[in-house]
Amino acid sequence: MSNHSRTQSLVFGIPWPELNDGLFYSDVVPHSDSELTLIDFYSRKYKNSAPLQGWLQRIQNGQISLDGRVVKDPNTILSGDSVLVYHRLPWKEPDVPHLLEVLYEDDDMVALNKPSGLQVLPGGLFQQRTVLTQLCWTVKKQNSTLNIQETHPVPVHRLGRGTSGILLCAKTKVAKTRLAAYFADGTSLVGATSNRKAERSGTRKISKIYRALVTGILVDDKVIIDQPIGIVRYPGVAKGLYVASPSGKPALSKVEVLERDEKQNCTLVQVEIESGRPHQIRIHLSFIGHPLLGDPLYIAGGQPSCFDPELVDESFAQDGGYQRPTNPVPGDCGYYLHAHRLVLSHPTTNEMIYITAPLSSILQTSDESNGSLGSMSVNSAN
């Protein structure tokens, strides 16, 4: 990546090593937890990470140090202000793509074409194999040859692991603040009162348009979905699962039918989202009875296909943590969703920037397939 405006295609990426580097988690014992045993501290505070027997295994493996010394006795009594460090051993993360395409770049920001399967930020099984890691590695490699210090770009929003397409990243603190505000403002406007709805189009600084392939045939050419999205307990998802919920937060999606395939019983749609709730498009389309084709998680009604909030698997994996859930989770792939077009006001020049990410053949209309209209384009206008 460079410091100059770029609109031509560039692909970069460093192959993933066999194992990641593991992780180190530090805690300072609060005085309220003094006199607790080591096993009580971890099994209570981090019960979402591992069951009791899993934490016992980690302690006995010598993966926890107390004030710089490895401790293997789970009944060790803790003192206030002591420093605990848990070492999560290196592991092989699932295979994912490592190459990223640059769609647009200037001194303030870079737009990437994220492949399906690659997670944006570290989380869960993916602590190294992420977009953020590739950005960090690439800039570090460039700096080592130029002998300079430069911070790496950072994503200012997220795309689901199975979602492909445009991912916007900031290269400066100013750009990061302003771009993040664009996304936040768009979401907050959805919750505005009716007398402000007319102002939305004039106040929004960014527009996001997706392509999706859904099951079934949508009857209406255009559909507006304003179903709120909330969180429920769900096995294997520590912070809860986002679902359609009357008590959730406001969300708005505008769906337009592009092509119907009666033979395959599916519909190609364009979706513009005016808010940015997690998994919003997957939830909204499933809510109206048309889940994304191949979506392993969400079914009609905007709910998960397998749902038992009380089910907890106490078995643990080789590293002491919980076994990977057998039920579907949000990071599972298989669906067809692509962040296709992005229009935004440049964070420093206010110039309008238009970015388009190429479409895979399955997300192209018949006319696009025949005329190759899904190719990449970037334009700007004052």
Residues 257-306: pLDDT tens digits?
Answer: 999 999 999 999 999 998 889 999 999 999 999 999 999 999 999 999 87
How crowded is residue 203: how many other Cβ atoms within 10 Å of its Cβ? 11
The pTM of the full predicted model, rounded to 2 decimals, is 0.86
Q: Say which range, 94-98, 122-126, 240-244, has the weakest mean pLDDT.
A: 122-126
Sign of CA dihedral 363, 338, 9, 18: negative
The pLDDT of residue 381: 56
The pLDDT of residue 371: 77
Residue 147 pLDDT > 60: no
pLDDT digits (tens, 9 = 90+) for 35-51: 999 999 999 999 878 88
d(CA 355, CA 377): 6
At residue 222, what is the residue type? K
Q: Say which range, 100-109, 172-181, 246-255, 371-380, has the weakest mean pLDDT.
A: 371-380
Q: Radius of gyration (Cα) for the chain, nearest Å? A: 23
The pLDDT of residue 124: 83
Counting beta carbons within 10 angstroms of the beta carbon of residue 149, is it exposed (0 to 12), middle (13 to 18) or buried (19 or more)?
A: exposed
